[in-house]
Chains A and B, each alone.
Chain A
């Protein structure tokens, strides 16, 4: 596959949107369900463990310079086991794509456009997503750079606006919520909250130097971790537990409740624009990730031929959960409870044996 070089700022924007767009979905509530008043601690621990994902990925890529995570995994583990491991990555990206597609469509349907048929909503969203993914990752990173700042402004203003309207400072007590062992356990299980980071493994050769990739990943982790943490903290303060675990659309509710005097109310329409842009970018990156993994596994020259078949598959998969509650359950209990296998276990298990082997000539030369 041939891709153009990627800039750090653009890649960071893409990475941040890909990881942090989940704040617009049920993510803050699912954290509140598990962590109660200490939901933010789960996110903090998940952010810390996501460093392991990156260190494993970096270890593999250093051993196989010029390769992507997929081709490096295949070289490291052999064609059979390597492709099996790569299938785990593919499943992770595909699950993210279809479950987020359904959640975004359902959120808009349930809260904003109740009379619009869900297939129309999903179809329209997927059309834009498939076209964006078809154009390629370079265009996606540039679009992300353009809208990344908008997303930051939107989220920051939303959180500040909501907290300026309603805030219960004591909502973070008791500090350990259900208990420190439980919170720490959930933090480890939910380490895949930032698992979308794996996309950088697919883009590694597109960076001019390995240090640039490293810089992009650290910035992405820092910004998206801060966004996830800030959102969960703000939501807990805005709707103290147990109210927080009962709100179906946390960030939407926060935007609906912002009151800045008589003239600044009902601002959710403004936020909606940013949400849809973030949704399209996130889904497009997810779909691109699926296509890129599959293309590299099948040794297809361009990911483009796979975009539309994968989009059709995602459309059908998105229709599988019978309702919104079930969709959220799939996300929280399947994707985010087992996502660590893709985001943590597979890269680490690949990296550990690789790190014991002597480096090849290419790797030594690269160092």
Chain B
């Protein structure tokens, strides 16, 4: 029986579809692509940009055929740099010596060197966000020193997958509120809003050292925010100053603040937590406070914002004032002084000490950011903007010029909610 019309049509359709299934102009086999995990940008002495690419070393490369690299990211990544006026040119130049096609589609972080950050990042960012492979989900970081040095040293031993390493480092550190998990999208929004502070993750590389912690730089040379009489908070340090030894010689600790597109200040992990508290984003972050019953020791607690901060921004004529009321709660962690903070009176004293500590630090942080650096770190502008009916009125008010004349008061209340798995501390008596 001769084939019917429907059969002929089906055969014709299959033939037509087979033409489409053979691939298209944009076909890229994964083994022909060099996947960038992190991108660094520095300023060269000649005023050009130096782009540093950290690329995943594919299985089978750099070793015997068929054998994937094992062990650590040190063996799994390739780092190289090129000088170029912008990102697309840097990628094009890379193709002169990298066999595979460079792809940023899976890049996790954009890291800017401190010098470039102080000079201004807008030209770099403007060129990057136009590029289709550049994703605004990349985490935005600033490193003390150069981005090249950071990426060269970012070879962890524990985690072999460099992409996963970046992801995990940023995720855990941000969950503890030691860094802000700022993505390029957040960063650009703040950058484009007059007066707003663009926050980025603070990173640093350090000399590779093995040995005792007290031999290391940063152990006693850290830039603590506390007074000298008491031991400084372990969080009152910035990336590069953390007293430690071993593992990867790079750190994610603290944050970098930008006014317009220029870096104006670096915050310690402690100040980063305070900023998160004022922004109302703390879910579970460790906090260290001087022991109110034994000032030579410290108490560690786990904190969270009990509710979003109550922000009241008042405008009387040209004068703006801000009042922020914060309610925090948390769990008792460790108290090496062995005082029994489950006792109601002592607990109340601890609560007051934590509240006062956070209040003082928050006041000092607002003083520094609003009056010294002239940036609106906690977005007071958004509360003020609601009081204007039109954009023209809001722009004419020039909030960014009034930051340094805006007094801000903070009141923090803290309550202990849980005491862990122990009631009274153990005694040797």
Contact = CB atoms under 8 A, between A and B. Distances in A.
B389 A168 contact: no
Contacts of B132: 110-111, 114
25 contacts: A113-B24, A113-B26, A115-B25, A115-B26, A116-B24, A116-B25, A117-B25, A166-B185, A168-B382, A170-B385, A173-B386, A174-B391, A175-B389, A176-B389, A178-B392, A179-B392, A180-B389, A242-B192, A243-B189, A257-B135, A257-B185, A259-B137, A262-B167, A265-B137, A266-B105
Contacts of B379: 170
Given A114-B132, A256-B136, A256-B137, A174 B388 contact: yes
Interface of A: 36-37, 110-117, 120, 166, 168-170, 173-180, 239-243, 246, 253, 256-257, 259, 262, 265-266
Given A114-B26, A177-B390, A262-B171, 5 more contacts: A112-B26, A170-B379, A253-B136, A256-B136, A257-B136
Contacts of B393: 174
10 closest residue pairs by CB, A with B: A170-B382, A115-B25, A173-B386, A116-B25, A113-B26, A174-B388, A173-B385, A115-B26, A179-B390, A176-B389
A327 to B, nearest CB: 18
Contacts of A175: 386, 389
Q: Give the one of B183, B386, B390 with max A CB within 10 A.
A: B390
B88 to A, nearest CB: 12
Contacts of A116: 24-26
A246 B391 CA distance: 17
A120 B26 CA distance: 12
A114 B25 CA distance: 8
A246 B132 CA distance: 14
A166 B386 contact: no
A130 to B, nearest CB: 15
B186 interface: yes
Nearest to B132: A111
B193 to A, nearest CB: 7
Contact of B188 (A241, A243, A256): A243
Contacts of A114: 26, 132
Q: Give the one of A114, A174, A262 with max B CB within 10 A.
A: A174
B390 A173 contact: no
A243 B192 contact: yes
Given A174-B391, A178-B392, A239-B189, A257 B137 contact: yes
B368 interface: no
B279 to A, nearest CB: 12
A59 to B, nearest CB: 38
Contacts of B390: 174, 176-180
A115 B23 CA distance: 12
Nearest to A166: B185
B100 interface: no
B383 interface: yes
A36 B391 contact: yes
Interface in B334-386: 379, 382-383, 385-386
A17 B150 CA distance: 50
Contacts of A36: 391
Interface string B128-164: 0000100111000000000000000000000000000
Contacts of B391: 36-37, 174, 177-178, 241
B392 A240 contact: no
A170 B383 contact: yes
B386 A170 contact: yes
Interface in B186-214: 186, 188-189, 192-193
A302 B137 CA distance: 51
A246 B189 CA distance: 11
Nearest to A248: B130
Contacts of B389: 174-176, 180
Contacts of B167: 262
A321 B183 CA distance: 35
Contacts of B25: 113, 115-117, 120
B386 A240 contact: no
A253 B186 CA distance: 13
A224 B192 CA distance: 32
Interface in B100-117: 105
A256 B391 CA distance: 29
